Each structure stands twice: as C-alpha cells, then as structure tokens.
Structure 1
Amino acid sequence: MINIISAIISGLIIGALARFFYPGAVDMGWIATILLGIGGSLLAGFAVSRGRGDFNRAGCLASVIGAIVLILVGRLLGIGG
C-alpha cells in the first residue's frame, strides 16, 4: 500500500515538473499528470536498464526527462491538443 501511495506522490511531482519544464502549455488534470509522471519514470527506467533482464529505477531527473518525452510523443501523435 505504501508503494502505491509513494508512486502516486512521486508521479504527481515528476509530472508537474515535466509540465513546468516543457515549452508551451500542457493542459491536463491531476490524474493525467500523475499518470504522466509514473509513465515517465517507467520510460526512464527502461532506458536506464538498456535491454538487460533486470529493471532499474531511474533517478528523478531521468524520470522528468522521460515524462517530457512522453508529452512530446503525445503531441506528435496528436493526442492532447
């Protein structure tokens, strides 16, 4: 239960930082921001693992960069305005 709560809190922080540092307005609610932060953390974790069998957690900066990449991919695909 604590892991879920910490994932939500860190997802909110990372998602909010990604929205802040992304150039231009990013219109999304709290739930989408939390999911963005969690997704950015997962994306950065996979990038840090580099195809090895074990999954490593990425740092906060890498997670924010991963979330920014997710915003960019969403914009390129026409998702989210």
Structure 2
Amino acid sequence: MGIETILGAIVIGAIVGALGRLVLPGRQPIGWLLTIVVGIVAALIGTAIAQVLGVATTDGIDWIELVMQVVLAAVGVALVAGIRGRSRV
C-alpha cells in the first residue's frame, strides 16, 4: 500500500463522509476528523458490497457504488452522532 493509496482513501473518505453528513438533517455533534474516519470506513464497506454485487466494474464513475457509500456514511454519521450525543449528557 503506497502513499497514493492512503491519500486517496483519505480524500475519498472525506468526500463520502461530508456527503453522508449533508444527507442528514440538522446538526451532528461530531468533528471533521471523525466524519472523515466514518467516510473512509463507509467507502471501504460500500466498495466491498459493490464488488460482491458486481456493480463496481463499470467504466467511469460507479454511481451505484457511490450511492451505497454515501448511504453507509449517513448511517455511520448518525450512529456516531447518536452515541456521542448520549455520552455527553
């Protein structure tokens, strides 16, 4: 795994995490670093699911894979925000 792969995962994770966060209504009590981590995990899981389903092998942008990643990121951000919101009380 090269530095390009790691930087690519961080950039894609940040984009997917931000899109997942934008999908959710209201304000989420998590920082940008945690959003990126959730986005990276969502991107990895979304890619794995897309490969199992056979939709990750298209030319150009894999829209179905991207939608899966953003939905997973939204779920992840909601879960982390819910857990962090409860623990601060």
Q: Where on the TM-score scale, by shorter chain, does this alignment land: which range?
A: 0.7 to 0.9
Paired position in structure 1 for 2:83: 79
CA-CA distance at 1:45 after TM superposition: 2.7
Unaligned runs of 5+ in 2: 58-63
Match of 1:39 among 29, 38, 41: 41
**Partner AA of 2:40 in structure 1:** I
2:25 to 2, 23, 26: 23
What TM-score comes out, normalization by structure 1 length? 0.72
CA displacement at 1:44 relative to structure 2: 1.8
Aligned residues: CA RMSD: 2.3
Structure 1 unmatched runs, 5+:
51-55
**What is the aligned-residue identity percentage?**
32
Query: Aligned residues, how many?
Result: 74
> Could you tell me how far apart the structure 2 residues matched to 1:34 and 1:67 are?
9
- Look up the equivalent residue of 1:25 and give its one-letter code: R
TM-score (norm 2): 0.67
Give the ranges of 4+ consecutive aligned residues of structure 1 lying more than 6 Å apart after TM superposition: none
Whole-Å separation in 1 of the counterparts to 2:49 and 2:79: 16
Shift of 1:73: 3.6
The amino acid of 1:80's aligned partner reads R
- Amino acid of the residue matched to residue 66 of structure 1? L
2:70 maps to 64
Structure whose CA Rg is larger: 2
| Higher helix proportion | 2
